[in-house]
Every structure is written in C-alpha cells, then in structure tokens.
Chain A
C-alpha cells in the first residue's frame, strides 16, 4: 500500500464530446464482449487448460447453473471444495480450489467480468464488490471463505434493465476516462451512499473513496457523480 502515486487532480474539460455509449449487457446477444469471451475460452481450453478451466467453465447463459460437476451431481474434483455463492440474487454451486480468490471465481467461473483485476494485491480497488452488503477487495478474499455469502457485483447494480442511480450519475458526469476502475469506483460509491456513518460532505466522501485508485485522474467527476447520485438513492 505504500508509495503509490499521488492522486492527480482531474482536468475538467477532458472527455467532453467523447461518445457516451452504455452497453446494456445481454448475455445472449453476439456482442463484442461475448465474442471475445467465447474465443478466449475455446482457445484456452484447447491449449493450456489453466487451473480454473479444470473446475469451471465460461457460461454465457446466466440462467443456467455455472459449474458442470455440481450441475451433474458429481462429487467435487480432487483438491476442490463445493461452495454456494449467492451472486446478484442468484445462487451458484461451484467447485473451487482453496487458493482461488473471489475475484477470479466471479470472472472465470461465473463470467461476470464487470469486476476488474487491477493490482491483485488490495491496493487499487478495481475489484471492489459487496459481500453481505459490505464493500471488500475481492482479490484478497478466498472464494472458499464465502460459502453461503451474498455477493453483489457491478452487474447486479442495475435492476429491470434500468441503470442504478450511481451508474446514471457516472454517465452524466463523465466520471471515467479509460473506465477500468469504474466498476470498483461505483461499488464503493454505492456502499458509501448506503452507509449512514459516512458523512455527506466532499471531504468525507473523498476519504471513504480513497481505496479506489483512478490512474486517469477522474476523481473530480467521480466525486460530482456520487454527490449527485446521493439525491436519487
């Protein structure tokens, strides 16, 4: 955690005029993201078969069970443990090795790639998710420790096809540049807005958000987005 770069002030005029597109994720549509996922999964399975590929598979249909062995009633593979994760309101039975972190299980086994891997050692906040309503770094938490827990990822923020107020506010305030830290920023922001113990002034919000690093320096617009969303949450 030591010796990270200073947070730089944002430049007000950056990003103006940039196309403001929002991708409403439809798991069945042949989107660019799903195309890349399926190509990646196929070539990986054919080539090196990493550890995660042996115990899970990428499933594009979020209505189906996510783990083949559990689905087919088989015992967990050697070296794995069977857990239940409740992610965005849906229960998943998964077989995981002890060294799999929650972040990797979300991304690789559940194909919920909205949660990002940044530093992977708890310094940047890109992997922030809610577990039982509390924000944590999913890179620093073993999946096996979360058996039975309720997990919310950025994919679970919007409801019934509508953006969550924080998502709308990030869009309205242009609260990102490259966008890689954005899911983590939004998960922290929602947790803060739901937390009566975090004061509503700018200084308190900045302090509470300090675990989310934005290398593009969009902090000013992120703060504006959070303070605007406050009125709608």
Chain B
C-alpha cells in the first residue's frame, strides 16, 4: 500500500480543519472500502484523517419521533439496534444482507453511504473509466455489463450501480444527512446526497469541499407499517444485489394506505420509486396492483447488452416483497 500521512482527530472541527490542509485527504472511519481502494491504487490519499474516535456512535430517538444515527455507528450496531429492528425493519435487513460479519463489524454508517462503485472497469486501474479518470470514457457500456451495471439513472458516461444496501433502505425510509464543513453545519436530503452520473460521473456526492458527515437522521416511522428488504443476487450471501427492493407499506383492511419503495442493484444511486408508490396508495393490495406499480417503477429502465434481465428482475423484487408484506 502506498505511503500517506496520518492524523487522528479528536473533534469534528479538528478533523475538518486538518482535512482542509491537504489537497488529497481522506476521512478514515472503518476503512473497509477506503483501504481496499488504496491497496488497489484506485484512491491515492496523501493524508488520512482518522475520525474513528470522534464519538459519533450514538443512536437516539428525537422528540419529533425521528431517529438520529451517528456517522460512526457500525453497520452491525445499527442493524442490531432495538429501535431499528422494530421500527425500521427494512434497514436492519438491508444492513445484514450486505458484506460479511467482519466487514459489518468495522464499516460505519457514513462510510457505507460513501461506498464507491464495484464496476470491474473502475477497479482494474487500466480501463477507460470516467469515475476513475474523468473524460476517459466508459468501458462498461460496450463491455461486459451484467452484474454491477444499472438499467436506471445511467448516462452515456457511466452505468455502474451504486452498491450499498443500507442506503437503499434509507432512501425508502426518508432521511436527512448532517454534514459539517469549515463554514459550519448544514443538512442534505438523503435523496439528494448521491448524484446521478450524468455528464460528470466523477462527482458522486453532494458534499462540498472539506465537509464531513456527522449524522443521518431517519424520518419518523410510518404508523402501523411493515417493511422488508428483498435482495436478489447470484449467491445467497456476501454478494452484491442484481436487484433489490426496500418496501414499507401500511394497510387499511385490504387497501394500501401508504407505501414507500426504493431499489438497489438496478440503479446508479439509491433509487426511490415515488411514481410506483403513488400507484399503490388507495388501491387494493392485490398482485394486479403490485404488478402495475412494479411496471411503473421500471418504465424508464434501459437495458444494456448483458443486464436487460434486471428489468423484469427488478419488477419481481417489488412484487414479491409487497406480496409477502401484505400477506
């Protein structure tokens, strides 16, 4: 692994100030994705600002019913939190469906949001890739694009899927990201945090220079709702999604009162399907309703040479999840 300087921060302000002094700094929390990419020489930080002892490890329910999660809460701790398991089941399930025990023990909430894509052309260090080498092109569009390539939110510059399961659940729940920079703190809507590739795939997050994620605050749970995360993949564990759905649904009798749907494995960012949600509300909880919502969720999808199967697979991920939840 290449050399870098290291500085351990004792406060958020100190972390931000230290980070701002370098042109090529990285915040280091769990390190499970960052150090992986430094080892394969995809990321080349000159300064690591270690934030793992900043104490942002709390999960607390706010007076307005929302749940405030520290950026350094590990994936394991968040998945196992009693409130998360009871009121945000979809989030607990999404977390436990991702990575391995060892990685979840180390990976943090903020770091999970900041995961980079798993496209092999991004990771190989030599292929044309606009995320790694801006302006060089996208090798995946004309290359092998089956498993970690998207059908929603793609552009002519990048089609890599966004990898995190946790973020898909958060997109369904609704959340606010708190960040602190040199000029103070601000909040970003979770759905605006991850950027579509568009013409600049190398711009991935709505963070300004030198900003650090400190918390993610989940919207208050929908009263009386059930939720679940369904992840479809080539292998039943320790594998990224081909298609996944995070679904939250509440019923009045057999009528759908409220619903939230977000998708993973098929899109370039955590993909909230609001039109599909609207197609569910007030409708009977039948397979016909679910199929129509699933069709709407994927209606703008564009398949590439090897991944067009993700369009029906994504629809099935929605239909099956809704069917199980409303049974």
Interface residues of A, Cβ cutoff 8 Å to B: 1-4, 6-7, 81, 97-99, 101, 120-122, 125, 128, 134-137, 140-142, 144-145, 188, 191-192, 197, 206-212
Identify the closest chain A residue to B106 (Cβ): A136
B208 in the interface, Cβ–Cβ < 8 Å? Answer: no
The smallest beta-carbon distance between B284 and chain A, in angstroms, is 35
Query: A99 contacts B100, CB within 8 Å?
Result: no
- Against A, the Cβ 8 Å flags (1 = close, 0 = not) of B97-119 are 00111110110000000000010
Q: Knowing A98-B48, A121-B39, A144-B6 are in contact, say whether A137-B237 is a contact too (CB < 8 A).
A: no
Tell me whether A136 and B105 are in contact (CB under 8 A): yes
Alpha-carbon gap, A2 to B117, bound state (A)? 11
- Bound-state CA distance A3–B106 (Å) is 22
CB-defined interface of B1-21 with A at 8 Å, one 1/0 digit per residue? 111111010000000000000
Give Cα A108–Cα B239 distance, bound, in whole angstroms: 32
- Residues of chain B whose beta carbon lies under 8 Å from any beta carbon of chain A: 1-6, 8, 28, 31-32, 35-36, 39-40, 48, 50, 52, 76, 80, 99-103, 105-106, 118, 120, 147-148, 235, 237-240
Q: How far is the CB of A130 from chain B (nearest CB, A)?
A: 10
Q: Smallest Cβ distance from A28 to chain B, in angstroms? A: 33
CB distance from B72 to the nearest CB of A (A): 12
Distance, CA A97 to CA B3, complexed state (A): 8
Q: How far is the CA of A141 from the CA of B80 in the complex (A)?
A: 23
**A2-B148, A6-B235 known; A122 vs B103 contact (CB < 8 Å):** yes
Closest partner residue, chain B, to A206 (CB atom): B237
In the complex the two chains form, is B106's CB within 8 Å of A140's CB? yes
Q: What is the CB-to-nearest-CB distance from B78 to chain A, in angstroms, rounded to a whole number?
A: 13
B147 pairs with A210, CB closer than 8 A: no
Contact B102 A211 (CB under 8 A): yes
Q: Is the CB of B3 within 8 A of A1?
A: no
CB distance from A134 to the nearest CB of B (A): 5
Contact B238 A141 (CB under 8 A): no
The distance from the CB of B314 to the nearest CB of chain A, in whole angstroms, is: 18
Q: Which residues of A lie under 8 Å from residue B2 when comparing CB positions? A: 99
Interface contact A1-B106, CB-CB below 8 Å: no
Partner of B1, one of A6, A101, A135: A101
Chain A nearest CB, measured from B226 CB (Å): 21
User: How long is the Cα–Cα vector from A192 to B105 in the complex, in angstroms?
Assistant: 12
Closest to B40 in A: A121
Inter-chain pairs besides A2-B120, A98-B48, A135-B105, 12 sampled, C-beta below 8 Å: A2-B148, A2-B240, A3-B147, A4-B239, A121-B40, A122-B102, A135-B101, A142-B35, A145-B28, A145-B50, A145-B52, A191-B101
Residues of B within 8 A of A144 (CB): 6, 8, 50
Q: Are B35 and A1 in contact (CB under 8 A)?
A: no
CB proximity of A182 to chain B, nearest CB, Å: 16
Q: Which residues of B contact A136 (CB under 8 A)?
A: 102, 105-106
Would you call B105 and A141 a contact (CB within 8 A)?
no
Asked if B103 and A210 make an inter-chain contact with CB atoms under 8 angstroms apart, the answer reads: no
The answer on a CB contact under 8 Å between A1 and B99 is yes
CB neighbours of A99 from chain B (8 A) = 1-4
Docked complex Cα distance between A81 and B2 (Å): 17
CA distance A197 to B118 in the complex (A): 30
Could you give 20 example pairs across A and B, Cβ below 8 Å?
Answer: A1-B238, A2-B147, A2-B239, A4-B238, A99-B1, A122-B32, A122-B35, A122-B36, A136-B102, A136-B105, A137-B106, A140-B35, A141-B35, A142-B48, A142-B50, A145-B31, A145-B50, A210-B238, A211-B101, A211-B103
Interchain nearest-CB distance for B182 vs A (Å): 24
Complex alpha-carbon distance, A99 and B40, angstroms: 13
Task: Chain B residues near A120: list those with CB within 8 A.
Answer: 39
CB distance from A220 to the nearest CB of B (A): 16
Whether A128 and B102, one on each chain, are in contact in the complex, defined by CB atoms closer than 8 angstroms, is yes
Nearest CB to that of A208 among chain B residues? B101
Closest residue to B238 on the A side, CB-wise?
Answer: A210
Residues on B with beta carbons closer than 8 Å to the beta carbon of A134: 76, 105
